[in-house]
Chains A and B, each alone.
Chain A
Amino acid sequence: MKPKVAFFSFTSCEGCQLTVLECEDILLDMLGQIEIVRFREASSLKRDDYEIAFIEGSASRPDDVTRMRKIRERANLVVAIGACAVSGGVNFMKNFHYLQRTREHVYGAQADWFPTTQVQPVEAVIKVDHSVYGCPMTKDEFLETVKSLLVGRTPRIPQYPVCVECKMAENVCLFHRGQTCLGPVIRAGCQAFCPGLGAGCDGCRGLAPDHNLASLTNVLGEYGMKPEEVRRKLRLFNGYIEVQP
């Protein structure tokens, strides 16, 4: 029996849609293996008998939460695709801007702003079975996930940091170039995309599970970056970690 698959979009930056679109040909090739019963809101396909739900984007409106819960009820497997879905991604920054002002003007130093969070990653709303990291997620990892679910195994998503792939690619380390990089604490899987182009990793794939951020903060300090700046840099994609319990 072909597994029935649906794709859903929430608040996001279009980037991951693009990745999915890039894979459309391949997905069509896969139609022997899977049946797509819902594909983006624009499409005319709108069935609700799916088993695997791919969710892009974060929840940012009240009815998003209801929609996500409904998806969870119907799907056997929920896969969050892209940084917005996995951790709130860039969207999450909004929370800080709004909340910071609130904090300053309303609550002062004792501000407990967690409950007023607006943007929520999928896992804050419903249980997520698998995550495809990245902003945007990579085509390779998206397909790896789809194929793994097809053959019935856990997708091979790295736990180790970007440096591993950066070294395999024999890049010159940005620190040796006098620049900085978040690669040592960020989950790999992008084949060290940014360092490969000569730019420091911005952390779009989220913290690696075994990161030592405290130690990297010291290293960055030697390169002239204050802890506060490190935090701000991480916020670009990883604001969520600041409020995670």
Chain B
Amino acid sequence: MTNKFLANQEIPSFLSALAQEYQVIAPVRRSEVLPDGSSRYSFQPLNAGPGDATGLSAAVLDYPIALNDPKKFFFPAREELLRFQRDGSGQFGSARDLSETIAPPPRALVGLHPCDVAALEQLDLYFGSDRIDPYYQARRSGRLLLVAVSCLSPCSEECFCASMKTYRVDSGYDLLLTRLGEGFAATAASELGDQWLQRLTSLAPLDADREELLTEVFSEIEETFAAGVAFDAAAVPRNLAKGYRDPVWREEAERCLSCGSCNLVCPTCYCFDVFDEVDIAATEGARLRTWDGCMLKSFAEIAGGENFRAAREARLRHRINRKGSYLHQRYGRLFCVGCGRCASACLVDISPATIFRTLEERYGH
């Protein structure tokens, strides 16, 4: 596979080259400098579509973490599933499945961090294998270039990708950019990525010195993150099973605001609600879905008021087990990438990492 050096001054032309063929999506600044000295970033489409090269300069490739991961481009917060017509008396009429009409432009997602790549692989497993969700699949199988950027150090106090082993990923993307001084090492990880690097003739190949430097950077990444390991991820499913009735759920959930923020920012949360909307004459309308969250009280409530997870502690236990145990039983892997978005969003400092670690202390032996 081809390796090249993307010098800082080459980044604009690199993005313009992509913009010829793709709608370029990349992190952009979303806030002023906040009191804690950091800023917030968000993945946004930059140009109008392939062929348009405006807006590219807003891209930020050195950034800590984006508010939301790129899930929203494959599984939007709100989307129409069907459009229907009601007949005169409000009955069936006709209905059309909109998954067949989904045709996103070719898209280049630039700036994904390793945890974002890992999260996307998990969503692929959930929506794209077994029982395939046609809407997700239509967006995900469109023409797509995934350009990841290596993380050199933990992006926040809340992230625990070090423990989850998602701070480095070897697959699931096309190109990887790794900061090397005045530019990035660009390494291909797929056929498509390789083709792109070959096409970008203005970029110099990665010379032997830089190759060596890159190897060093990767081992530094390993060392840095190894120092941050807080618990054994492999033992999480077992510890969760043993700690099912542990007081930790009540202890933590007591201060939970039931605000759902943790669900809504999580790259591996996929639950949704389904509902209908009608036009003003009530003759046509759409069936839609929208992101939902298991921390919200109405999530497991049925008509008549019965609620199978009425208590906050039951909901917290469900969310954390869903990440670290339930889906592990179904798919053989953890459904949390340790990005810490949930913990950063949580105003009362509830974090899966704290719970995983607590349970390890209590049941890990």
Say if the two chains contact directly (CB < 8 Å).
yes
Do A164 and B31 form a contact, CB below 8 Å, given A30-B280, A150-B282, A151-B90?
Answer: no
Query: CB-CB < 8 A to A121: which residues of B?
Result: none
- The residue of chain B having its C-beta at the shortest distance from the C-beta of A179 within the complex is B35
One of A53-61, A130-138, A153-161 contacting the partner? A153-161
- Contact: A184 with B257, CB < 8 Å? yes
Do A160 and B260 form a contact, CB below 8 Å, given A167-B265, A168-B291?
Answer: yes
Do A151 and B278 form a contact, CB below 8 Å, given A161-B259, A178-B35?
Answer: yes
Cα distance, A210 to B297, chains bound together (Å): 7
Q: Is A26 in contact with chain B by the CB < 8 A criterion?
A: yes
- Contact: A172 with B31, CB < 8 Å? yes
Residues of chain B in range 239-275 having any CB-CB distance to chain A below 8 Å: 254-261, 264-265, 275
- Contact: A212 with B35, CB < 8 Å? no
Do A30 and B297 form a contact, CB below 8 Å, given A170-B67, A185-B257?
Answer: no
User: What does the 1/0 interface line of A134-148 toward B look like (CB < 8 Å)?
Assistant: 000000000110010
- Contact: B264 with A172, CB < 8 Å? no
A167: which of B30, B78, B90, B345 is its contact (CB, 8 Å)? B345
- Contact: B280 with A164, CB < 8 Å? no
Interface centre among A212, A216, A218 (most CB of B within 10 A): A212
Cα distance, A227 to B312, chains bound together (Å): 23
Residues of chain A in range 171-217 having any CB-CB distance to chain B below 8 Å: 172-173, 175-178, 183-185, 208-212, 215-216
Cα distance, A185 to B258, chains bound together (Å): 8
- Contact: A147 with B293, CB < 8 Å? no
User: What does the 1/0 interface line of B291-328 toward A look like (CB < 8 Å)?
Assistant: 10100111000000000000010000000000000000
- The residue of chain A having its C-beta at the shortest distance from the C-beta of B264 within the complex is A167
- The residue of chain A having its C-beta at the shortest distance from the C-beta of B301 within the complex is A159
Q: Is A106 in contact with chain B by the CB < 8 A criterion?
A: no
Query: CB-CB < 8 A to B1: which residues of A?
Result: none
- The residue of chain A having its C-beta at the shortest distance from the C-beta of B78 within the complex is A168
For chain B, the count of residues having a C-beta within 8 Å of the partner chain is: 40
Cα distance, A29 to B256, chains bound together (Å): 45
Cα distance, A184 to B259, chains bound together (Å): 5
User: How distant is A90 from chain B, measured CB to nearest CB, in Å?
Assistant: 25
User: What does the 1/0 interface line of A21-45 toward B look like (CB < 8 Å)?
Assistant: 0000010011011000000000000
Cα distance, A210 to B311, chains bound together (Å): 10
Cα distance, A156 to B275, chains bound together (Å): 8
- The residue of chain B having its C-beta at the shortest distance from the C-beta of A151 within the complex is B282
B297: which of A168, A184, A209 is its contact (CB, 8 Å)? A209
Query: CB-CB < 8 A to A166: which residues of B?
Result: 261
Do A161 and B260 form a contact, CB below 8 Å, given A147-B278, A151-B278, A212-B255?
Answer: yes
12 A-B pairs with CB atoms under 8 Å apart are A147-B282, A153-B276, A159-B298, A160-B258, A160-B259, A163-B257, A167-B261, A167-B264, A170-B68, A178-B34, A178-B35, A215-B255
Q: A29-B281, A160-B298, A212-B255 are in contact. List 20 more A-B contacts (CB 8 A).
A: A26-B280, A144-B277, A151-B278, A156-B275, A160-B258, A160-B259, A160-B293, A161-B257, A161-B258, A164-B264, A167-B345, A176-B31, A176-B34, A178-B35, A184-B257, A184-B259, A210-B258, A210-B297, A211-B257, A215-B255
- Please give the residue numbers on chain A whose beta carbons come within 8 Å of chain B beta carbons, in ascending order: 26, 29-30, 32-33, 143-144, 147, 150-151, 153, 156, 159-161, 163-164, 166-168, 170, 172-173, 175-178, 183-185, 208-212, 215-216, 218-219
